[in-house]
Amino acid sequence: MDKDIEKFDLACTYLKNDQSISAHNLFMSLAQDAMKKDDFKAGIYLILASECKARQDKDNKEEFDMAARYYLMVAKKDKFSSSYAYQCAARCFLKSGQIDRAMKVSDEAKKHMSVIIEEKRPIVIVDDSPAITLRLKSYLEQLGYGDIKTANNGNSAIKLVTKLINDSQNPLILLDMQLPNLTGDAVAKKLLEKKPDLSIILITADEKNNPRVRNTIGFGSVAFIQKPFTINELKNALDITEQSRIR
């Protein structure tokens, strides 16, 4: 994963310095590797590769078509990401000039959106502080959440979330960064390797620009809450997380 990040940073540097051919080759390599791992980021890499082509004044429809087909595969394979993936596919088909197909795929996205909105999923609180856990549980119950599970250390969190994933559930994780046996950033990386589109909200006393927090957010977590937090701040983070599933 670190090598992929280094390669991505290098590709972005090439793109920034107008070395579009080198950037295109790296983004395509990243896309191919990501597709082999069923990593949702493959589509993003392909779109970035298309931008490299555009900067060379070359036809970039092939990259958009590849991205659209990849997103279609994701939509059919993962029901929890289907609406978002169909919408991504529709946009890419539109960019590649396939207007009729874009409209059909967009209609398919609408069919799946209502299913995702209505779906109720479990929430897992991962925190070693009983007081914080009780506060989060109380806030969640006030916000209408019912299926709430808890873990007080990183290892037990990984086991619990893995079981939920294996049971075809799509949990939302409230993850404390400071845990006794395995830090929150390490837990996040392990869980996102199992399910790249897993919804993780970080809870920490650190600032958002703290390197460890920033790296974890960049790795894939979708929202951030800083201690001490209010019920409104928790609700905002939950809303951002749910909206990211259906955009």
Q: Per-residue pLDDT tens for 61-87?
A: 999 999 999 988 888 877 666 777 888
Last residue of a domain, one of 69, 86, 117: 117
Please check whether residues 220 and 113 belong to one and the same domain. Answer: no
Please check whether residues 86 and 102 belong to one and the same domain. Answer: yes
Is residue 27 within 8 A of residue 17, CB to CB? The reply is no
Last residue of a domain, one of 98, 117, 136: 117
pLDDT, tens only, 164-203 = 988 888 889 999 888 887 878 888 888 888 888 888 888 8
| Alpha carbon distance 178, 62 (integer Å) | 45
- Contacts with 123 (C-beta within 8 Å, 6 or more apart), sequence order: 140, 145, 147, 148, 149, 171, 172, 173, 174
User: Is the previous residue joined to 228 through a cis bond, with omega within 30 degrees of 0?
Assistant: yes
| Alpha carbon distance 174, 185 (integer Å) | 12
Strands 123-126 and 148-151: parallel
Q: How confident is the model at residue 246, as a pLDDT?
A: 45
Range of the structural domain that residue 19 is part of: 2-117
Q: Which two tokens stand for residue 228?
A: 């001490």
Distance, first Cα to last Cα, the chain = 26
Residue 15, pLDDT > 50, answer: yes
| Alpha carbon distance 103, 150 (integer Å) | 43
Please check whether residues 56 and 110 belong to one and the same domain. Answer: yes
Q: Which two tokens stand for residue 99?
A: 């207007």
- Cβ count within 10 A of residue 144: 7
pLDDT, tens only, 118-176 = 455 789 999 988 989 998 999 888 888 888 999 998 899 999 999 998 888 888 999 98
Please check whether residues 155 and 88 belong to one and the same domain. Answer: no
Is residue 116 within 8 A of residue 83, CB to CB? The reply is yes
Q: Which two tokens stand for residue 5?
A: 């990040």
Please check whether residues 100 and 128 belong to one and the same domain. Answer: no
Please check whether residues 99 and 137 belong to one and the same domain. Answer: no
Find, among 89, 106, 36, 85, the residue nearest to 246 by Cα.
85
- Residue reference for tokens 């082509």: 53
CATH of the domain at 189: 3.40.50.2300
User: Is the previous residue joined to 211 through a cis bond, with omega within 30 degrees of 0?
Assistant: no
CA distances from 30 to 46, 154, 164 (A): 9, 30, 29
The count of structural domains within the chain is 2
Q: Which two tokens stand for residue 1?
A: 């994963």
Is residue 137 within 8 A of residue 148, CB to CB? The reply is yes
CATH of the domain at 54: 1.25.40.10
| Alpha carbon distance 44, 70 (integer Å) | 10
